[in-house]
Structure 1
Amino acid sequence: MPPSLQTVARRMNLRPVAGTTRPGVLDAAVRWVAVSELSDPTPYLEGGELLLTTGLRMEGDLTGYVGRLVHRGVAGLGFGVGVSHEEVPAALAEAAESAGLPLFEVPRETPFIAVGKAVSELLAAEQYDEISRAFAAQGRLTRAALRPEGVHAVIDRLAKEVGGWAALLEESGEVRHATPGANTALVTAELARRRGRPSDAGGGDRLPASLALSGPGEHVVVQPLGGGARPRGFFAVGAPHAFTPVTHTVINAAGSLLTLAMEQGRAQLAAERRLRTAVLELLLAGEREPAGAVLGALGWRLPEPPVVVLAADPPALDAFGTHAFAALLGPYGGRAEEAAVALVPESAAEEVALAARAPVGASLPCDLDATGLGNALDQAGRALDAARGRTRGRGRLVRFGELSGQGLLGLLDPAAAQAFAAAVLAPITTYGSRADLVASLRAYLDSNGHWDAAAQQLGVHRHTLRYRMRRVAELLGRDLDDPGTRAELWLALEVARGSATSASRRGSSR
């Protein structure tokens, strides 16, 4: 904060003459000292100056001169006596008093340059003090960042430094941590409003580089976190007073610390994920002892067998990891997609699955040898396929043992099964009305050949279904009353349905 007019006047022994009795007028900040003998110096002023003059060209009515200075925002006027005037002109004093412009007498023995030096020294001292305060605050924020609470401690410390509140938000706008009294509703609403705007490049969200919000008795600053083009989160600070340059420096320092902590945390998390995946791959390769040794060196351990393998889509990895040994496994067993995998005791399977808040497939209990674990992974993946299709009933955890007929599918090589299904069903999948024929065949087989039940499932008349089945039999060249034919067609339809489900998920994830 620059020195006040009162501070400068006292330091240089400037005598008040007029316009200094109004409340708060001497608290005006002096941002610089200017010397001018022009009848209108305002084109060369910015406002906030203490203007010094000897009045060489002052004569007559001076209300216009004073009015221009007041309009420009001059902090005060110093009149040097003993040069062109032995005392401050009465006309000038009257005009200053009327307009409320602080007017001071500068003694003959006080050079104007001395006033300028004094103000310069006060400004330099204030700047040094601001820098010192900023460095001290940065030191406190840095020490907070080293505490176990990490980014939460930085947010708590920042609130104290700004004399208000602070909050940390996810990229989505969800509040991750906030100090008491934080107006997070204002911040989240503004982020949501701006996120809904199209970007200047056309399409996509418009996320702010920074935000400055103000309202009655509240000033708020919001800054993004992360070094990329898209923010990985936000932090906000608010206070009942406007932020000073020092406060802005402190806020920027906090932003750097929060970004650094976030990037380091992401790097550490990524390294841990890679390590867990490597351990799981060791287990699948039959290297159980090396896998256990790696985990033991890091203070982790595998569950005692028998274990149940849980599989879910990749976003469930963090939820799995807080309750069990979990890893992100790439395509395996003929499956073309990644999955979050957890190894848990059978008694904990349901609890861990519920924590994922997503579809989860569970295998039968298995050992940790390569064969048992590989089979269990395939079982969990197939159970996950079924879990994705459930919306109610027994919930979104599906155990492999609950799937009727999945034991048979589990014995088949996925690539060979898909080739078989494509060849068997080709005559009806390439037919013009193939969608009706495939759906009708599935309903017919699911209903075990009962015409009325299958027709009701499809919502058509049984005679329509009979016509379709005759057409299917003609195209396939098969007898649909033959049990072997029905078994092959059912198997082909199940394999085709699984392939279509996987392809749909891969397409939606792009």
Structure 2
Amino acid sequence: MHSLYALYTMSQPAPSAPTLRALLSRGDLALRLASASHGALEQPIRWVHSSDLADPTPFLAEEMVLLTTGTQFSGDDAAQYEEYVRRLAHRGVVALGFGTEVARTGIPEALSAACEAHGVPLFEVPYRTPFIAVARAVAEAIAAGAYARRTWALSAQRAVALAALRRDGLGSAISELSRQLGAWVGLFDSAAAPVRASAPLETALAERVQQECETMLARGASAAAVIRVGGRSFTLQTLGPGGTLRGALVIGAEALDEEARSVVTAVVAMTGFALEQNEALARARGTLRAGVVRALLTGDTALAGEIGDAAWGGLPADPVVVAVTDEAPDALAAFLELRAGREQGSFFFGSDPEGGIALVHTADAPLALDELAERFDVAVGVSEPGPLASFAASLDEARIARDRGEGVTRFADVASAGVLSTLSPEAANVARTVLSPIVRHDDVHGTAILDTLRIWLLHDARYDDAARALGVHRHTVRTRIRLAERLLERDLQSFAARAEIWVALLAAR
């Protein structure tokens, strides 16, 4: 087996074209290297062409070897050789082969000097070696390379398929793909969370790759892209149909030939199917988790505990903190599932019957809720620590806190703000309706009944104090309050009526 074919018999992916070094090493061709710059011999050869035209570049392509007998040159004028080689270098010719003993004895020195000046490798083709033999050798090597690559692709696909039959089929397939490609391979789910990887990446690099996956998956369309991260190239391929993406496969390589892509395509189909199965399992787990939440709400902690022990290694131990989100995007559920897998026994989550996701964790192992709220753009309410048996009361606290604002809100902060801070937006609408007769009267007649009423209540319904605060006579205050009573159709001499109007004034604001 000659060296051009041997180039393609490696177990790892090989170049798709022979190199100049491999061509020159063919003993049967007897080619002799005259000059070459450093690294030039490793350049791939796409084809061989022969021409004695003074300017053959219109008929050439990049990565070609040009063969010539030199009949186009007249004399030893260095300028003609310089211009000739300059055009070849500009066109991307890989090397120049000079056929000796046809028109010239040996290679002209001026041609050698021009090739060295422009970095174009120059080699001698002896008289006994026809140009067609050189072209045939390259064609045979290209065909051998294509056959070797197809053989490698079939072998790699078989190896990946066999790996998928092992105990951890998905992880084994990812590792085998990495070995076959000689590159790092990682699998991410629909939430851009890492599922499997052939080897760990540096933290900063892993975070950047994950961010790129998240950006691509957020678009919701099937796509492939090549990214540069930390000086390395990564190829990203989404998994699943557009609109229902299941994840992304990432390969630490930039250029993959057709055969390598065929192996990756087989893995993409397999991992897509595996992730689809994972989605079905995730839905089943979600239903089971929701059942545990309902059991906890009804106080049946024994049943919830039995299920938790069997399915997730137990539920969090007392004291626990309950949190609840305002919605349940699929990406959040996938993220929490991975988190729960890492923190079995100290963290649990399930769907809240009133919407969102309820999260339970031990008080001494808090979750990074601020990061969670920012990443998934959800509001989160957090209860006070308490026993798991009081889950229903803790969930109510978390719901109240969640409904108070954006981001993360703790029930302790809501409670410290007082009872009135828990009034809902609906209460404000009712309050404005109750006060609307006074508001309309003030607008039509230019009076200050509402402001007088507020100052009077603020001063515990004392007319003299309210008058001094308003800068009017106490009889004026009394007259305005009587008018307010008529407009509101309420007797403000009773504490209950005054308390109701005071709450309305606060809620309306």
TM-score category, normalised to shorter length? 0.5 to 0.7
Q: C-alpha distance in 1, partners of 2:451/2:173? A: 59
2:358 maps to 1:341: yes
Instruction: Using the aligned pairs only, state the percent identity.
Output: 27
Go from structure 1 to structure 2 and tell me whether the alpha carbon gap of 1:77 and 1:300 turns closer, same or farther (over 3 Å shift). closer
Distance of aligned partners of 1:388 and 1:150 in 2 relative to their CA distance in 1, 3 Å threshold: farther
| Equivalent-residue separation in structure 1 for 2:451 and 2:313 (angstroms) | 49
Cα deviations by residue, 1:173-202 (Å, 9 ceiling, x for unpaired): 99998835576299479969x98xxxxxxx
Q: Which amino acid aligns with 2:494?
A: D
Contact 2:317 2:362 in 1 (8 A): no
Distance 1:145 1:429, change over 3 A: farther
CA distance in 1, matches of 2:388, 2:207: 52
Instruction: Quote the residue 2:289 is aligned against.
Output: 276
State whether structure 2 residue 179 is matched by structure 1 residue 179: no
**Residue of structure 2 equivalent to 1:125:** 144
Distance 2:56 2:97 in 1: 14
Deviation at 1:451, TM superposition (A): 8.1
Q: Return the offset for 1:145.
A: 11
Q: Deviations over 1:184-230 (max 9, x none)?
A: 299479969x98xxxxxxxx999996244389xx4423536454469
Cα 1:87/1:389, change in 2 over 3 Å: same
Residues 79 and 88, structure 1, Cα contact 8 Å, conserved in 2 = no
Q: In 2, distance between residues paired with 1:304 and 1:190? A: 31
Separation of aligned partners in 1, 2:291 and 2:270: 32
Contact map agreement 1:273 1:327 (CA 8 A) in 2: yes
Per-residue deviation, residues 142-170 of structure 1 (Å, max 9, x unmatched) = 7489775967994898499556x677889
1:361 maps to 2:383: yes
8 Å Cα contact 2:67-2:131 kept in structure 1: yes
| TM-score for the superposition, normalised by structure 1 | 0.59
Aligned residues: 442
Contact 1:222–1:236 (Cα < 8 Å) also in 2 = yes
Q: How does 1:401-412 map to 2 (within 5 A)?
A: none
Kept in 1, the 8 Å contact 2:289–2:349? The answer is yes
CA distance in 1, matches of 2:265, 2:357: 37
Instruction: Work out whether residues 347 and 362 of structure 2, in 8 Å CA contact, stay in contact via their aligned partners in 1.
Output: no
Alpha-carbon deviation of 1:32?
A: 1.0
Separation in 2 of the partners of 1:120 and 1:19?
Answer: 23
In the alignment, is residue 327 of structure 1 matched against residue 350 of structure 2? yes
Classify 1:267/1:294 alpha carbon distance in 2 versus 1 (closer, same or farther; 3 Å): farther
For 1:159 and 1:441, the matched residues in 2 are separated by: 81
- Partner amino acid for 1:220? S
Q: For 1:14, which of 29, 37, 61 is the aligned residue? A: 29
Structure 1 77/364 Cα, relative in aligned 2: closer, same or farther at 3 Å?
Answer: closer
C-alpha distance after superposition, 1:350-373 (max 9, x if no partner): 4577565542236987979xxxx8
**1:54-69 alignment runs, 5 A limit:** 60=75, 63=81, 64-69=83-88
Q: AA paired with 1:116?
A: A
Paired letter, 1:361: S
Deviates more, 1:307-316 or 1:273-282: 307-316
> In structure 2, which of residues 470, 483, 487 is the aligned counterpart of residue 475 of structure 1?
487
> Unpaired segments of 5 or more residues in structure 1?
196-203, 332-337, 456-460, 501-510
| Mapping 1:8-157, distance limit 5 Å | 8-11=23-26, 13-16=28-31, 19-20=34-35, 23-53=38-68, 60=75, 63=81, 64-79=83-98, 86-87=101-102, 89-90=104-105, 93-100=108-115, 101-108=121-128, 110-131=129-150, 143=163, 154=174
Aligned letter for 2:383?
G
Question: CA-atom RMSD, angstroms?
Answer: 6.4
Stretch moving more, 261-270 or 477-486 = 261-270
State the distance in 1 between where 2:321 and 2:95 align: 80
Instruction: Note if contact 1:50-1:76 (Cα within 8 Å) is conserved in structure 2.
Output: yes
Matched residue, 1:427: 434
> Are the structure 2 counterparts of residues 258 and 116 from structure 1 closer, same or farther at C-alpha, using a change threshold of 3 Å?
same
| Partner residue, 2:395 | 380
Q: Which TM-score applies when normalising by structure 2?
A: 0.59
Work out the CA distance in 2 between the residues paired with 1:69 and 1:235. 42
Asked if 2 retains the 8 angstrom alpha-carbon contact of 1:219 and 1:238, the reply is: yes
Judged with a 3 Å threshold, the aligned counterparts in structure 2 of structure 1 residues 488 and 145 are, in CA distance, closer, same or farther, namely farther
